[in-house]
Chains A and B, each alone.
Chain A
Amino acid sequence: MKKSINKAHVRLGVLLLTVIVTLCLIPLENLFAEGKVNRRVQWEQLKTLPIQQGGRVMPLDSFSRILLLQLSAKSSLKVDSEKLSAVEWLAEALFDEAKAVQRPIFLIENPEIMEALQLPYKKARDRYTYEKLEPKINAIRRYAATAEQIKPEKRSLIQNQMLQLYNNLMRFEALIHTFSFWKNRSDLRFEGVQLNIKPGTNLSIADYIFLLYQRLGQIEQGASHERGEEVKINQCLKSLHETTVKSLYNGLFAIFHSGEKDKHHGWKYPWFVFYDLISENDPRHKQLSLFANIYRSYQEKNWEEVNKNLVKTHDTFVSMAKEKGEYRSIELEVKYNKYDLFYWSLILYVFATVFCCVSWLQSKNSKFFYMSALVCVVLAFSGHTIGMLLRMIIKARPPVSTLYESILFVSWVGVSMSFFLEYYAKKSKSLGLFVASLCGNILLFVANKYATEGDNFAVLVAVLDSNFWLATHVTTVTIGYSACLVAGLLGHAFIFLHLFSPGVIERYRKELTRMIYGSLCFAATVSFLGTILGGIWADQSWGRFWGWDPKENGAFLIVLWCIILLHARLGGYIREWGMALGCVFGNIIVAAAWWGVNLLSIGLHNYGFTSGLFGKLVIFTVVELAVILFGGILAYRHKTLKKKVAS
């Protein structure tokens, strides 16, 4: 009988493991599939094309992902069961406007928006094409303009979303206009100028400009003496410039560079280069003509030629970037994008949590599930570590320099700490592992939500641009957050432990208490160190050690709370229960210090301001307070129970 149960468990375990392994393999299979799907044009070539946007040089792959995430909250696109990667979508928008406007990419979360625009909709949170939204663009602009006049904190949800939708539409328009000087248009007609065009043919702006200048040349050479026409031609050129000036200043990303050391470090937007080239003989002429070749061969539907040109363009630009030393981490970044390590770590952490729970439900033969959980956590942790290392190499920065990275790092430290506890715990095995998996999955889940909000490799403002202080102060403060959160999670474990039978309670309680105390001491020390390092940084940068700035106060609150708990324990005011409940309260303090102070929108640490956070923080606080209340009731019951037993 016993054996059969064992076998059943083993089978169940094997089944679960197989599920995980297959799930892990899916992305790999997908990665191969991306190449296998028969596509006539190999846009993927452009993934490692270096471009410049938002103050940094990045691969086109990253840019396309960021843009697509902003528009549709996804980093790829599904078209008739075929997956279109971000870079394929972007390239299509650059070279094939007609197709691009039919892609459903504009995420509209709220059907009220569609109602306001008097457009039909099927469900909430749906994606729409540019073609569908384009007729309503004036209405959207009006709504957005009204919303813009209201202060950000007073805007309604709909107003915010309308504004976002408008911005997204404008971004998309700018995108499809990147190379639109080559696009054949029917709306351009020039009266009073003798151009050698067959009636009915559509020409591009580039063609017209070429023809107009050619004609100007003819007039000047005296082939004909029509002064009136010369004035006309200049007027035409001027009006052409005026109709396209919007594209000129709306460039989304810069590809070309002149090698000059100007404000943009020589990086130029396509339209600028296009206009520059009319008058000058410029080295960028060759760069632009590479893209022109792609464009032309694409219009001619000569796919082989397109692919050839793609390779040539890519190689030229890559070698140019290499010469300038700007290709350093481009390929690495593309790899980083491709493997999406944090996502898979998150999934593995979730499995580890499940396995831990399952292992507790088994009375004795839980070794297998325990081992599975351990393997999952170790795998997830490796992915997590590699991901962070890649980020550090790509950015050439210490692990934390943005809010997004702080989540990754807090999670990472939390998992490491729990590993340590797991290793040195003797009676309460699997508890540390459970806390590790929770640290991993809760925080990486939050980070995952955060990753969609834009370029998370963004450059740093001058005051934060110091690798030394980022490495010391920011890192220690975030380790302090981790330590506090681990103590808080252990506090939760302590509370919920008391739902089990007295035997279980006895087995875990003492060691758990020691773990809580240890984590708290560590939290106090590291948070204190982090806070004073911040003070020293402030003293070095602004001349005052302490200025009661919100973020400083946040870090200070964590230290204070740890010190209060330690002194209260020393004075005998709180014991095991008090420490556990206190540590749970510590979680609220950490949340307030980490996220809450950003809501105040003031102070010197003005990075990572974020909206819609208030509600989530309130929910978190209420839940934690409920846990504390629940713990309080449990503590009371256990005390009275003990008294009864004693008497």
Chain B
Amino acid sequence: MKKTLSQKLLDFGASHGLTVVALLFLMILTIVGTIDQKYIGLYQAQKKYFDSAVAHIQIFETSTHSFYLPVPGGFTVMSVLFVNLILAFVLKFKFRWRSFGLWVSHLGFMLLLVGSFITFQYSQDGHVSIFEKEQASSFTSYHDNEMLVKSDGQDYEDIAVIPQSFLTQKKLFASPDFDIQIKIIDYYKNSDAKLRNLLTPDITQVVHLDEIDMEIEHEKNQQGVLIEVLNYKGEKVGDFSVFLNNPLEFNYRGKSYTILLRRLHMGMPFTVRLEKFVRETYPGTETPKRFESTVTVLEEGQEREVVISMNKPLRHKGFTLFQSAFATTENGQYQSTLAVVRNPAEAWPYFSCLFIFLGMVIHFIPKLFRFVKRRNKENG
């Protein structure tokens, strides 16, 4: 009996061969993605190899050209594995008690993939850096930016926030609240700005903005945007350069405008206040022994004190706050940095990995017993 093409395709999709090939690709990605971290840093390597649909692996480089081999990226490989697994479940797996362990662990693996997709898509992370006795109710992204547009009239104020995707896609920002439109000309992932020391307080201007190579530590990259400001009729008002954390201010027709590129701010449903930061080192050395932030959580008029230390985070309302870093000022005041994570699929890896592990144990233990038994039988 001859198989039709679609049957053949389905068989291929459910085959062990596809599994092995996909896993091999994942292995290659992991190796290359690990080594490349030395050169482009963890964040960029993650974007380039593991979060991507297609990864371009550099094969060799001459003085003028680089030659790349495109391979499926982490996203593609994991999607293929997911489809492969579903097809195998539908077409090949037959339930027997003997293969119960396999069922469990492969179901666990599917859960793991779904969970990581949710994390990839919906989780937020950033940090709160506060001095002692200071408080915060929002956290700042390490990597993503947003652009703030503000106009001050005589007795009112308008604010708009432009998300990063808007900037990278170089779109045109227009809103009925504003008399101006902003056209994004270019978005630099890392830039170097020459700033003018200003004598007149109402105008800030970046003299010159250059795109430069990216840093290995992604947090150190300072983005810059070239914009063209138009009036509501679409007539050009002027070209400007906006540099990270340097507000651009100008006046147009009696209104003052501020445009600020800054790290993305995300809100928390509660406020934290740093009461005390403690840092302890091993005697006679600079080797850190313990970091600890005592914070007060404020919400709806209620207060409670929590100690956050290394390996002991604060979990509250789906947000998790970890002790991440600290800094000291010249007068010895501590600033504590707490990493903030919000991940709707936080618990998924726990369950899925437990399934996978239990499945493996259920599957392999009887085999071990068979090995031991066989020996006893033949000896006795």
Contact = CB atoms under 8 A, between A and B. Distances in A.
A516 B11 CA distance: 30
Contacts of B374: 426
B208 interface: no
Interface of B: 15-17, 19-20, 23-24, 26-27, 30-31, 33-35, 37-38, 42, 45-46, 50, 116, 119, 125, 281-285, 287-291, 310-311, 313, 320, 322, 324, 339-341, 343, 346, 349-350, 353, 356-357, 360-361, 364, 367-368, 371-372, 374-375, 378-379
Which 10 residue pairs spanning A and B have beta carbons closest together?
A571-B16, A55-B282, A543-B341, A532-B353, A265-B283, A55-B285, A462-B288, A553-B34, A545-B349, A525-B360
B48 to A, nearest CB: 11
A55 B346 CA distance: 37
Given A541-B310, A546-B349, A567-B19, A553 B30 contact: yes
Interface in A529-570: 529, 532, 535-537, 539-550, 553-554, 556-557, 560-561, 563-564, 567-568, 570
B29 to A, nearest CB: 10
Interface in A409-450: 424-426
A542 B323 CA distance: 8
B357 A532 contact: yes
A466 interface: yes
A548 B310 contact: no
Given A55-B287, A537-B311, 5 more contacts: A55-B281, A463-B310, A528-B360, A546-B116, A553-B33
A626 interface: no
A465 interface: yes
Given A564-B27, A600-B37, A424 B371 contact: yes
A524 B284 contact: no
A328 interface: no
Contact of B349 (A424, A535, A573): A535
A53 B310 contact: no
Interface-central residue, A524, A543, A597, by most chain B CB under 10 Å: A543
A620 B19 CA distance: 30
22 contacts: A52-B283, A56-B282, A264-B284, A459-B285, A462-B288, A521-B367, A522-B364, A525-B357, A525-B360, A528-B357, A535-B353, A541-B322, A542-B324, A542-B339, A543-B341, A545-B349, A546-B116, A553-B34, A560-B27, A567-B19, A571-B19, A600-B38
A27 B116 CA distance: 57
Contact of B42 (A54, A549, A556, A564): A549
A426 B375 contact: yes
Interface residues of A, number: 63
Nearest to B280: A462
B30 A602 contact: no
A544 B341 contact: yes
A571 B17 contact: yes
A601 interface: yes
Contacts of B50: 548
A132 interface: no
A238 interface: no
Nearest to A551: B34
Contact of A267 (B33, B283, B341): B283
A521 B24 contact: no
For the complex, would chain B's binding face be called helix, strand, loop or mixed by DSSP majority?
A: helix
A473 to B, nearest CB: 12
B107 to A, nearest CB: 15
Contacts of B116: 546
A601 B324 CA distance: 20
Contacts of A466: 311
B371 A263 contact: no
Nearest to A554: B34
A547 B291 contact: no
Contact of A543 (B313, B361, B372, B378): B313
A526 to B, nearest CB: 9
Given A524-B360, A567-B23, A263 B281 contact: yes
A564 B20 contact: yes
Contacts of A556: 30
A265 B285 CA distance: 11
Contact of B367 (A56, A518, A549, A560): A518
A214 to B, nearest CB: 34
A514 interface: yes
A267 B34 contact: no
A188 B62 CA distance: 66
Nearest to A564: B23
A535 B354 CA distance: 12
B322 A263 contact: no
A60 to B, nearest CB: 16
Given A254-B284, A573-B20, A521 B349 contact: no
A469 interface: yes
A518 B27 contact: no
A602 B41 CA distance: 9
Contacts of B324: 542
A267 B37 CA distance: 42
A548 B42 contact: yes
Interface in A251-286: 254, 263-265, 267
Contact of A55 (B30, B31, B283): B283
Contacts of B42: 547-549, 602-603
Contact of A54 (B30, B35, B284, B341): B284
Contacts of B375: 424-426
Contact of B289 (A465, A524, A545, A549): A465
A153 to B, nearest CB: 10
